[in-house]
Amino acid sequence: MLPSPTPDQTRRGSRRGSLSGNKRYISNAGVADVYIVYGVTDPALPAGKGLSAVVVPSGTAGLSFPRRYTFMGRRGCVVGEVAFENCRVPADHLLGTTNGGMRVMAEMFNFERIILGGSALGVARSAFDIATAHAQRREAFGEKLGCKELVWSDIAEMSWRIDAAELLTYRAAKLYDAGTAPRELMKPAAMAKLVASETATFCADRTVQILGGDGLTKEYGRAEQRCRSSAGRRRWCVI
Ligand SMILES: Cc1cc2nc3c(=O)[nH]c(=O)nc-3n(C[C@H](O)[C@H](O)[C@H](O)COP(=O)(O)OP(=O)(O)OC[C@H]3O[C@@H](n4cnc5c(N)ncnc54)[C@H](O)[C@@H]3O)c2cc1C
């Protein structure tokens, strides 16, 4: 995966052909072979129009990784800070055209949104499986939990939300595979990511409720883990 820092958030500026600044929360910081960096190349143009994308290989002088973060969930991926100190970027490391970085970013966001939709679907589905298995097994006050209206209505809602998220995510993935133009793909990709993320959060929360005390414990673990995995997905990456 290619982490993609957005421009110089500290606004320390950059000289022609070099990058300075830092960016927090970058996936695979310190382990990726290359970094795609977006920087303002023409501040006189309106926001987004004067942006260019460049490739910065991991061994570049001035590139460092000051810290790594520990997250409440989604711990499979290293996330850290990337710092640039007068990093020289040769002209042939430009991706796309000068001031054409927004197009590159839009294409990457489309792809990433669809992938994140898929991963949120995985969380939603596994939460659903945990909830249904528990509701079929656990008996309270003389009947299975799944026979109680409030419980099965939660399970039914999880089910239709997952189906809706799945349809949106698969539609976006098919459009991507069919080579749909980035501008056209933006809306379906964003909708897929949003609905799948909301669905993961909804299903993880309902699963914790259906499991009662078990849902809250680290000893049982599976439901609270899905809850931590779903947290922050809606706003994650601000994409
Ligand atoms: C696990 C993880 C991996 C990531 N990987 C990458 C990566 O590889 N590449 C990459 O480019 N980015 C990545 N990001 C995203 C990125 O690094 C930042 O998290 C993101 O840019 C948000 O910045 P921030 O965390 O400083 O939040 P802030 O900008 O401080 O925002 C905090 C809150 O304020 C809200 N907010 C901010 N501005 C506004 C506004 N104008 N109007 C209304 N609300 C606003 C935000 O929605 C958010 O809820 C990753 C993030 C995470 C959590």
| List of domains in the chain | 18-98 (2.40.110.10), 102-238 (1.20.140.10)
Q: What pLDDT shows up at residue 230?
A: 87
Q: Which of 11-15, 103-107, 167-171, 229-233 is the most confident on average?
A: 167-171
Residue of 50, 37, 43 lying closest to 6 (CA atoms):
37
Mean pLDDT of 14-23: 79
pLDDT score recorded for residue 234: 61
CA 150 / ligand 1 centre spacing (Å): 36
Name the one residue in this structure whose structure tokens are 């259906």.
Answer: 210
Q: Is residue 108 lining ligand 1, measured as CB closer than 6 Å?
A: no
Triad 125, 169, 164: Cα angle to 5°: 65
Indicate whether residue 238 lines ligand 1 (CB < 6 A): yes
Confidence of residue 235 (pLDDT cuts 50, 70, 90): low
Average of per-residue pLDDT values in the chain: 89
- The helix or strand, by DSSP H or E, that contains position 188, with its residue range, turns out to be helix 182-210
239 C-alpha vs ligand 1 centroid, how far in Å?
8
Q: What are the contacts of 68-76 at 24+ separation with CB within 8 A?
A: 68/29, 68/30, 69/25, 72/228, 72/231, 73/225, 73/227, 73/228, 73/229, 73/230, 73/231, 73/232, 74/228, 74/229
Q: Is the pLDDT of residue 23 over 60?
A: yes
* Residue 237 pLDDT exceeds 60: no
pLDDT digits (tens, 9 = 90+) for 134-188: 999 999 999 999 999 999 999 999 999 999 999 999 999 999 999 999 999 999 9
Pairwise pLDDT comparison (219 vs 202), residue with the higher score: 202
Q: Is the pLDDT of residue 1 over 50?
A: no
Distance CA 200, CA 189 (A): 16
| Proportion of the chain above pLDDT 90, given as a percent | 76
Sign of the four-CA dihedral 26, 27, 29, 32: negative
Above 60 in pLDDT, residue 2?
no
Per-residue pLDDT for 217 more than 60?
yes
Nearest CA to ligand 1 atom 31: 238
Best residue among 6, 22, 25 to mutate for probing ligand 1's pocket (most ligand atoms within 8 Å of CB) is 25
What pLDDT, on the 0 to 100 scale, is given for residue 47?
84
Cα dihedral sign for 132, 133, 134, 139? positive
The whole-angstrom separation of Cα 97 and Cα 94 is 7
How high is the pLDDT of residue 238?
46
Token pair 């996330």: residue: 79
User: Cα separation of 150 and 103, whole Å?
Assistant: 47
The ligand 1 atom nearest the CA atom of 2:
8
**Cα–Cα separations (whole angstroms), residue 32 to 43, 58, 99, 114, 182:** 29, 7, 25, 21, 25
d(CA 122, CA 189): 17
**Beta strands 94-95 and 51-57: pairing type?**
antiparallel
Mean pLDDT of 227-236: 74
Taking CA atoms, 159 is separated from 27, 121, 208, 227, in Å, by 31, 12, 16, 17
Question: How many other C-beta atoms are found inside a 10 Å radius of the C-beta of residue 184?
Answer: 11
Please determine, for residue 10, whether its predicted confidence score (pLDDT) is greater than 70: no
